[in-house]
Amino acid sequence: MNSAAIAVSGLRKAYGDKVVLDGIDFEVAAGSVFSLLGPNGAGKTTTVNVLTTLMRADEGTVRVAGHDVVTASKQVRAAIGVTGQFAAVDELLSGRENLQMMADLKRVRSGGRVVAGLLERFDLGESADKPASAYSGGMRRKLDLAMTLVGNPRIIFLDEPTTGLDPRSRRTMWGIVRELVADGTTIFLTTQYLEEADQLADRIAVLDQGRLVAQGTPEELKRQAPGSHVRLRFTGLHELDAAARILAGSTRGDQELTLRVPSDGGSKSLRAVLDTLDEHTINAAEFSVHTPDLDDVFLALTGRTSTSTDTSTHTSTSAEAIAK
């Protein structure tokens, strides 16, 4: 039995001469989080639109929850929930009324009990009877996702669900996603936030200019990026020249007065670099240890860095702090 909740083969979509999706293939295991990474314009939303029956592909086959999205679109829609980039709530209605409307549209039995349960689950009880126009951005996104869950869909598509949210609201959404997966729901997540994909995804696919340039677990993708290194910054060119001569394999940046030294990212490797500098009476003004992250993966695969990362794995320390 095929355990894939989503199976895509040879998916192609073009608008006139512009190819948006150029024959992509992937599978999403049931009960997992699959993240589609890519910059704006990469084709992420087009992919979601095809998978959710909102758009027809030019070529290829797509099966969602075991059903073909073209010949069995009704069955596909019955099995999925979709949360788009912007909260699709009626701001004139209260949170409770928005949820009740979805329950009525989906003809959910015991709709009132379902609505009450979702309000509690998403911590919206105190604001349940306030108009959605009075909700914060994070509350609207939670209400939007709660509306998506009416009817217990087996597969949920989250198209950049945390765009525009503050870090606290974003992490709240992450917690909700983890709870859904723990309950057996399959999540298809598109995002520009590399940390988000790293935190949530079981598998990641990198989409660039309509093509999948890599697929794998976060750790597998990180291994494709250049290795760890120690970054040293000096106060003058003389110190930089001296350090470059004694640290084999290092790469210098004359403008920033920096030196990148290959490392395994461990403390012993760092200590060895600093001890070598001490032996030659060379002082570094600052150092940092860098280990590959998804931003490195993105740069290695696409030639571009992401501008949407929230945190960095760089740890900077003044040179004086090592003297302990």
Task: Kindly report, residue by residue over 139-187, the tens digit of the pLDDT.
Answer: 998 999 999 999 999 999 998 888 878 888 888 889 999 999 999 999 9
Mean pLDDT of the chain: 88
pLDDT of residue 320: 35
Is residue 102 over pLDDT 90? yes
pLDDT of residue 292: 79
Percent of the chain at pLDDT above 90?
65
pLDDT of residue 311: 37
Confidence tier at 39 by pLDDT (50, 70, 90): confident
Kindly report which listed range (91-100, 206-215, 295-304) carries the lowest average pLDDT score: 295-304
In this prediction, residues 258-271 reach a mean pLDDT of 87
Task: Kindly report, residue by residue over 214-262, the tens digit of the pLDDT.
Answer: 999 998 888 777 677 899 999 999 999 999 999 999 999 999 999 999 8
pTM for the structure as a whole: 0.75
For residue 29 the two structure tokens come to 């295991």
Local structure of residue 291 (DSSP, 8 states): -
Q: From 249, 253, 248, 250, select the one nearest 237 (Cα to Cα).
A: 253
Give the span between the Cα atoms of 38 and 208, in whole angstroms. 6
pLDDT of residue 201: 96
pLDDT of residue 315: 39
| 3-state SS, residue 317 | strand
Confidence tier at 305 by pLDDT (50, 70, 90): low
| 3-state SS, residue 286 | strand
Confidence tier at 321 by pLDDT (50, 70, 90): very low
Relative to beta strand 67-68, strand 18-29 is unpaired
pLDDT of residue 146: 93
Sequence ranges of the domains in the chain = 4-221, 229-322
Is residue 304 over pLDDT 70? no
Give the span between the Cα atoms of 107 and 7, in whole angstroms. 29
Relative to beta strand 203-208, strand 33-37 is parallel
pLDDT of residue 251: 92
Give the residue with greater pLDDT, 54 vs 305. Answer: 54
Strand partners, 28: 6
pLDDT of residue 105: 92
Q: From 17, 35, 16, select the one nearest 221 (Cα to Cα).
A: 35
Give the span between the Cα atoms of 160 and 170, in whole angstroms. 11
In this prediction, residues 269-296 reach a mean pLDDT of 90
For the residues of 198-258, what is the DSSP string, one character each?
HHH-SEEEEEETTEEEEEE-HHHHHTTS---EEEEE-SSHHHHHHHHHHSTT-EEETTTTE
C-alpha dist (Å) from residue 178 to 36, 175, 219, 298: 17, 5, 19, 24
Percent of the chain at pLDDT above 70?
92
Q: At what angle do helices 95-105 and 111-121 cross, to 10 degrees?
A: 130
Confidence tier at 2 by pLDDT (50, 70, 90): low
**Amino acid identity, position 300:** A
pLDDT of residue 114: 94
Which DSSP helix (H) or strand (E) runs through 78?
A: helix 73-79
Residues 6, 51 contacting (CB under 8 angstroms):
yes
Planar angle of CA 239, 244, 249, nearest 5 degrees: 160
The CATH class of the 4-221 domain is: alpha beta
pLDDT of residue 294: 83
Give the residue with greater pLDDT, 270 vs 85. Answer: 270
For residue 171 the two structure tokens come to 């992490």
Q: From 88, 51, 302, select the one nearest 192 (Cα to Cα).
A: 302
For residue 178 the two structure tokens come to 């983890």
